[in-house]
Chains A and B, each alone.
Chain A
Amino acid sequence: MDFNDYSAGDFHDELIGPGGRPRAASRALWKYLKNLDRSELDERRAACELAAMVAGITFRVYFEDTGVDRAMPFDLIPRVIALREWQQIEAGLKQRVRALNLFIDDLYNDQRIINDGVFPADLLTGSVNFREQCRGFSPPLGIWAHICGSDLVRDAEGTMYVLEDNLRIPSGVSYMLENRQVMKRVFPELFEDSGIQPIDDYASQLYDTLASLSPRPADYPSVVVLTPGMYNSAYFEHAYLAQQMGVQLVEGRDLVVDDNDDVYMRTVAGLELVDVIYRRVDDEFLDPEVFREDSLLGVAGLMRAWRSGKVALANAPGAGVADDKVVYSWVPDIIRYYLGEEPLIKNVPTYRCEDPDQRAWVIERLDELVVKPANESGGYGMLIGPRSTKRERKEFAKLIEADPRNYIAQPTLALSTCPTIVQGGVGPRHIDLRPFVLSGQETYVTNGGLTRVALKAGSLVVNSSQGGGSKDTWIVDTDR
């Protein structure tokens, strides 16, 4: 593979440093790749694609009501981070999630942070993810977001920022695990004696986290994964995690709540008690008794069972109140308020459109900024200023004026790049990183996470629903 013409321009490149020389943590990888000729590379690439296809790594994209299965694009050049840098990021993520959990628990109970005048009360009333049904309740250990996926990006100076926190039902971890499996199959020689930190214990860590929430700690806990079903875009992941943890993957119709508020699943041997539910169904569909009545995906009575402590739900209903993009802009203050510490990882500077001054400033500079709705995910409903047309900006200004609480704006980030296989060689493509943080009795952060890559040259959109792909992520110990 030829790196001679490779240049990321003004962007920070994850693998190649100034002067076209590899960064310390990626030196071994760079040497290896440099010595691969085109046919060897093609051979490995074909093996990768086949392995992914046979493993059934698919991602469902919704298009005009018909889901289409397609293989999730996977790029075989990994993204590398030095272990020493990673340890700092890991500490920052733990700090952040701890504060966010304290914040959620406070919002549903005493609301000290509001009473103390740190967080504005009207933000809460305007939040679509605040669940009245959760008021006055605190789940076991006071933890609401047991599984958190925060998106990290690096700017041109090489600084890592948190771009957003996903506290509802973050997905992508199965691709992280599968990507590693595929890489180990195709490049076994790279993993020998290379100091790449393992990631394979995620499923056991997830299981331990979930088991630690059981309302019947003396028993061997019965943990299940609740999926909306086969046609959900992340079904592959639900099945994968259930399999890796050795627990049942259930749908709403498999569960029933009795008059005693106990939750059971329907099995070939009759009804079986359930202790912990890792639910991958949105709040609104969770329980037709409490939320949407027309939901066929949920279980009638589940909220009763949860509030009476008969079953644990991960993540807890209502946890999404803290992954609202407006709340995001307050996270540094939230960390300072609950922990009395300075945030270890920075937020991307964020402008809140509900503030009239900031709104006016944002609308003037729509062509420079990225504007995001507070509660969409997957890159939907965004305006990327520098790539927008005049008409789009005009429309967006109207949207913002109509519902200012729902919008935030951020500077267009010069996302870092990573060498990626492209037509006719290797080229820089923009990437982000989604590590996963587990919070139960212990806190655990994945070694790395899922690196998403925008496969189109120059594109900043890495979401898999919008044609993004993924890469394996290596945390490499260079001090061995």
Chain B
Amino acid sequence: MLSRLAENLYWHGRYLERAEDLARLINVNAHLNLDLPSGLSAGWEPLVRITGNAARFKAEEREAGERQVVRFLLSDEANSGSLKATLENARENLRSARDLLPREVWEQMNGLYIKGNEQLTGNLSKRRRHEFLRELILDCQQIAGTLLGCMSQDHAYDFILIGRYLERADMTTRILEVRGYDLLPDDIENLSPYESIQWMSVLKSLTGYQMYRRHVRLRVNGNDVLRFLLRNDEFPRSVMFCLRALEALIEGLPGEDDQALRAITRLQRTLNETKLVGLRGEPLGKLMDKLQIELAETHDAVRQTWFPSL
């Protein structure tokens, strides 16, 4: 397969995953704010931080209210990482590689892009927004499902998955980083019902609540959620799951250079060797930072190995 197309598919995988994660974040945050008394609510500003937009958003000196933040994340022209721009990037990267994929995938992606362009105008009502984002998550899942059900599991598919899992692992660490700061109470034993609700929202933003309940019988608490989302082997949005998937994918790719594999092994070691019990605040933030840096190194290694600049 052509290096150029491998790169396009990798980015398509990343952007589509990013679009889905963004949609989940916004919907869950809206729900969370409805459940919390106003004093306890962290509002919408954390979403700006999770998406790495704090500097850009502040530079505009605007209030971090729902309307401003959501508009910024969904359709702001100044935000190159807006949902609208992300969908366009997912589509453009797929466009050049479309001949490698089942035709339906392009049709779905194109349909999703057109829908996004029509609806993400900045004037989306709350109810329509919720409905649109819920559909968008399903549309993304439909594309993933079509790929799984209809596409040869060849290298083209591998590169989409590599992009998807790297992005997903990264997003999970970002959510934990920001939410971890906001939410972890000083006294871990004394969980108020609201904190439990907040952790539930973290799980829900990753559609992990039900799965968590099946794995962990105790009521929702910070330590277990952290362990579940970082180290669980079976939940497809946990960081460890993503890393294991990446390891298997990268092992199957051609080439002598093993720098990408080494980067993944390093990540797994970092994750396994850190004590998670009681991890909160600053140390938690540091761990997530470290994981994010190592994920970025993995990205570099993948790029240098399979699509060195042409």
A228: min CB distance to chain B, Å: 12
Taken together as a complex, chains A and B put the C-alpha atoms of A56 and B99 apart, in Å, by 13
B34 proximal to A (CB < 8 A): no
Binds B, one of A92-100, A247-255, A325-333, A415-423: A247-255
- Choose from B95, B99, B306, B310 the contact partner of A268 (Cβ within 8 Å): B306
On chain B, the residues within 8 Å of A53 by CB distance are 110, 114
Quick check: is A39 within 8 A (CB to CB) of the other chain? no
Number of interface residues of A (CB under 8 A): 21
Task: Please tell me if the beta carbons of B2 and A269 are within 8 angstroms of each other in the complex.
Answer: no
Residues of A246-273 whose CB lies within 8 A of B: 248-251, 253-254, 265-270
Which of A230, A268, A269, A270 has the most C-beta atoms of chain B within 10 angstroms of its own C-beta?
Answer: A268
Judge if B130 is at the interface, Cβ distance under 8 Å. no
CB distance from A437 to the nearest CB of B (A): 24
**Known: A253-B4, A268-B255. Contact between A56 and B106, CB under 8 A?**
yes
Q: With A230-B95, A243-B99, A268-B254 as given contacts, are A254 and B1 in contact (CB-CB < 8 Å)? A: no
| B306 neighbours in A (Cβ, 8 Å) | 268
Alpha-carbon distance between A240 and B159 when the two chains are bound, in angstroms: 21
Bound-state CA distance A54–B98 (Å) is 14
- The answer to whether residues A243 and B103 also contact, given A56-B110, A268-B155 and a CB cut-off of 8 A, is yes
Inter-subunit contact A254/B4 (CB<8 Å): yes
- Cβ of A270: which chain B residues have Cβ within 8 Å of it? 254-255
Indicate if the CB atoms of A267 and B2 lie closer than 8 Å: yes
Q: Report how far A320 CA is from B255 CA in the complex, Å.
A: 42
Q: Is the CB of A55 within 8 A of B254?
A: no
Known: A230-B95, A239-B99. A54 touches B4 (CB 8 A): no
Whether A269 pairs with B114 at a CB distance below 8 angstroms is no
Does the CB pair B255–A269 fall under 8 Å? yes
Minimum distance in angstroms from A285 CB to a CB of chain B: 17
CB of A249 within 8 A of CB of B99, answer yes
Q: Nearest residue in B to A241 (C-beta to C-beta)?
A: B99
Known: A242-B99, A266-B3. A56 touches B254 (CB 8 A): no
Q: List the A side residues contacting B4 at CB < 8 Å.
A: 251, 253-254, 266
Can you list, as one digit per residue, whether each of B1-41 has a CB less than 8 Å from chain A (1) or not (0)? 11110100000000000000000000000000000000000
Return chain B residues, CB-CB under 8 Å to A239.
Answer: 95-96, 98-99
Q: Compute how far the CA of A197 lies from the CA of B4 in the bound complex, rounded to whole angstroms.
A: 39
B307 touches A268 (CB 8 A): yes
In the bound complex, do residue B114 and residue A243 qualify as a contact, i.e. CB atoms below 8 Å apart? no
Interface size of B by Cβ–Cβ distance < 8 Å? 25
Point out the residues of chain A lying under 8 angstroms from B255, CB to CB.
Answer: 268-270
Q: CB distance A269 to B254 under 8 Å?
A: yes
* B282 on interface, CB distance cutoff 8 Å: no
Complex CA gap A268/B304 in Å reads 11
1/0 per residue, CB under 8 A from B, across A376-417: the answer is: 000000000000000000000000000000000000000000
Given contacts A243-B103, A253-B310, contact A267 B111 (CB under 8 A): no
The docked-state distance in angstroms from the alpha carbon of A461 to that of B118 is 33
Residues of B within 8 A of A253 (CB): 4, 310
Return chain A residues, CB-CB under 8 Å to B106. 56
Beta-carbon nearest neighbor of A265 in chain B:
B2
Per-position 1/0 for B73-97, Cβ under 8 A of A: 0000000000000000000100110
For the complex, give the distance between the alpha carbons of A248 and B154 in Å.
14
Q: Which residues of A contact B258 (CB under 8 A)?
A: none
> Does B253 have its Cβ within 8 Å of any Cβ on chain A?
yes
| Cα of A48 to Cα of B106 in the assembled complex, Å | 18
The answer for the CA separation of A265 and B2 in the assembled complex, in Å, is 7
- Which has the most chain A C-beta neighbours within 10 Å: B3, B6, B307? B3
Scan residues 25-69 of chain A and give those whose CB is less than 8 A from a CB of chain B.
Answer: 53-56
Identify B3's interface contact among A240, A249, A267, CB under 8 A.
Answer: A267
A270→B4 CA distance, assembly (Å): 12
Across the interface, which residues of A come within 8 angstroms of B234, CB to CB?
none
Residues of B within 8 A of A55 (CB): 103, 107, 110
| B107 and A254 contacting across the interface, CB-CB below 8 Å | no
Q: A250-B2, A267-B3, A268-B254 are in contact. Are A54 and B307 (CB under 8 A)?
A: no
What are 5 residue pairs bridging A and B, where the CB atoms are less than 8 Å apart in the complex?
A: A56-B107, A242-B99, A243-B99, A268-B159, A268-B254
In the complex, given contacts A54-B111, A249-B99, what are 15 additional A-B residue pairs having Cβ atoms less than 8 angstroms apart?
A: A54-B110, A54-B114, A56-B95, A230-B95, A239-B96, A242-B99, A243-B99, A243-B103, A248-B2, A251-B4, A267-B3, A268-B3, A268-B253, A268-B254, A270-B254
The 5 A-B pairs with the shortest beta carbon distances in the complex, nearest first, are A243-B99, A269-B254, A242-B99, A268-B306, A253-B310
